[in-house]
A and B are shown apart, each in its own frame.
Chain A
Amino acid sequence: MPEHSLAVENASVSFGSGSTRVPALTDVSLQFVPSTLTLVMGPSGSGKTTLLSLLGCLLTPDAGSVFIQGANAGLCSAEERSALRRREIGFIFQAFRLFHSLSAIENVVIKSDIAGTGRKDSQKIALDLLVSLGLDGKLHLKPDALSGGEKQRVAIARALISNPKILLADEPTASLDSNAGRQICEILRRLAQDGKRTVVIVSHDPRWSSFADRTVLLEDGRVIDDRRN
């Protein structure tokens, strides 16, 4: 078992075909270890989101490999990649991606529904998670009745319900005010350190620098800087 829980090796991805083919990532190799919060930065179009999609098994590379907890995702079928996402990865999105028709607690439980785990246990875990994230009075509110920071905390609870060892976050503070953004930074920092999770965050937000253990800088689909903070 390698030390890293998540890695890309010589991964390249391009979009389009023929003369319109545009490289998004070129020969990228990165390893991510547990208990570490890695911040991926770079200008628009640098390949940050493509890298996150690769790490989350939402894309397969044209060349190279992606390893999730030692498994080569490129060799997995679509169903096996879905299972990897259910089991090993928690996602946090800039636009929260909550289900508008579901209450906060139902939004968290749905990930267990997808995994087919017992509903009663899931309800209890979801309740504990939401309470621990300061949402005890908002359990049955629908997303439209929650603030941006509250929605993002619901999304974090959803990401955590399956107790994944990898958390991938795409601009998690971009839609939040400074106070809510800071709270999210602290929560994710704590999840990396205390929960021994591998946390990868893609962000333009400079506030993250003080929370990250490592910063990776991308430009034109290549890693141009990778430093420990």
Chain B
Amino acid sequence: MRLAWYNITHDRMRFAVTVLGITCAVFLMIFQGSILLGFLQAASKIIDSTGADLWISGRGVQCFEFAVPIERRFADLARGVPGVRGTSRIVTSLVQFRKIDGSQQQVALIGADVSSGARLPIPQLAGTRLGIMPDALVVDSSNTQILDIPGRLPLEVEINDQRARVVGRTSGFSSFLGSPYVFTSYTDASRYLGLRPDETMFILVQIQPGFGVEGVKNELQTRLPDVEVSTREEFSHRAQFYWTSQTGAGGAILAAAVLGFFVGLTIVSQAIYSTTMEHIEEFATLKALGATSGYIVRVIISQAMLSGLAGYLLGVLITNPMIRAARPHIPWISTPWWLPVGVFLPALAMCALASILSVKAAITVEPAKVFRA
């Protein structure tokens, strides 16, 4: 479709405006998509980082962050169910973190047994697998500035007015709550939170090989009717659903991504329509020369697709540096490789949609118009 290419490149300024519109839309879709995906991952990050097959929580608990105490004896009862290999505990709550300058910062303290999962950054003694460092905290690198943590560790701080030491940094655990995650051992966390010895918040269950997760879950739920038993995936999805749907945060991000699509659609529609109307006499000429409606549709769709392709490539190119620039402010933003690839089809669909009005105008133009000087 040489005509399509020549038509759009003939008026370079208009082509640039069209491509810019598509670029903005593509960028917005990828950027907002990255925020949404990052938000979803962050919403279930702690749950997904454990090695547990099943989670036992208080009834009605929707996400990890808003936990309620449950009786610790449920762990003993759970270990009595056939197929349960072992249990571990995890607690969380918002606490006051006193920085070295004496000021306070609210943080989300997470305390877990070492057996909760190797991916959870629980402070351990160097060279040991299960030894726990007392009063030790680990923070995410993205939060060192807000927590006023210098390069050299350990650093003496206070958690809820009790002595603690920041001994290490981790990465990939930036909180989306505004309160940084701080990791410690289960024992220390219970002490900082003032949890009673017979209480915990979550019980994590590992299943013996050869036993089905669903079967053990059902058995546990039958035996422990006062708590909620979920598979890790169920709890993870529930938390994601809660943060995206119930709080409205995910809806707002999703709306922004959709808005990006429609803003792009409007800009591209306007640009493609005005390009078509500018060439409407040429479309009348094409019809007079014997072009079928199909040929004319192909010219217009090709124009839209060529613009779409150029705008898409440019949009993808600018997204990478923009996301890198945003990362210090939104550490949990996530752009998997398939997101820009996945935006390709919506971008082309947007261009095809934008050309519908133009197609209508071009195929209904009166070919006898060509005789008017």
A residues touching B (Cβ–Cβ < 8 Å)? 49, 52-53, 56, 58-59, 79, 82-87, 89, 91, 93-95, 97, 99-102, 106, 110-111, 113-115, 158, 170-171, 174-175
Contact = CB atoms under 8 A, between A and B. Distances in A.
Contact of B289 (A49, A95, A114): A114
Given A59-B368, A114-B290, 19 more contacts: A49-B371, A58-B367, A82-B287, A85-B288, A87-B290, A91-B288, A94-B371, A95-B370, A97-B285, A100-B282, A101-B7, A101-B9, A110-B3, A110-B286, A111-B289, A111-B290, A113-B2, A114-B291, A158-B289
Interface in B269-308: 281-282, 285-292, 295
Contacts of A85: 288-290
Contact of B3 (A58, A79, A113): A113
Contacts of B3: 99, 101-102, 110, 113
Nearest to B5: A101
Interface in B327-373: 367-368, 370-373
A113 to B, nearest CB: 7
Nearest to A202: B371
A158 B370 CA distance: 15
Given A99-B3, A102-B3, A106-B6, A93 B290 contact: no
Contacts of A113: 2-3
B289 A86 contact: yes
Contacts, number: 78
B6 to A, nearest CB: 4
Contacts of A175: 373
B6 A99 contact: yes
Chain B binding surface SS class: helix
Contacts of B285: 93, 97, 99
Interface residues of B, number: 23
B10 interface: yes
Given A99-B6, A101-B7, A106-B2, A53 B371 contact: yes
Nearest to A79: B292
Contacts of A82: 287, 290-292
A97 B279 CA distance: 11
B290 A170 contact: no
Sort A-B residue pairs by CB-CB distance and give the 8 closest, nearest first. Answer: A86-B290, A101-B10, A101-B6, A85-B290, A97-B285, A58-B368, A53-B368, A114-B291
Nearest to B366: A58
Contacts of B288: 56, 58, 85, 91, 97
Contact of A170 (B6, B282, B371): B371
Contacts of A79: 292
Contacts of B370: 58, 91, 93, 95, 97
A111 B285 CA distance: 10
A89 B285 CA distance: 13
Interface in B316-332: none
B34 to A, nearest CB: 38
A86 B295 CA distance: 13
Nearest to A95: B373
B80 to A, nearest CB: 78
Nearest to A106: B2
24 contacts: A49-B371, A58-B371, A82-B287, A82-B291, A85-B288, A89-B290, A91-B288, A91-B370, A94-B371, A95-B373, A100-B282, A101-B3, A101-B7, A102-B3, A106-B2, A106-B6, A110-B289, A111-B289, A114-B286, A114-B290, A114-B295, A115-B290, A171-B373, A175-B373
A89 B367 CA distance: 14
Contact of B371 (A93, A110, A114): A93
A94 B373 contact: yes
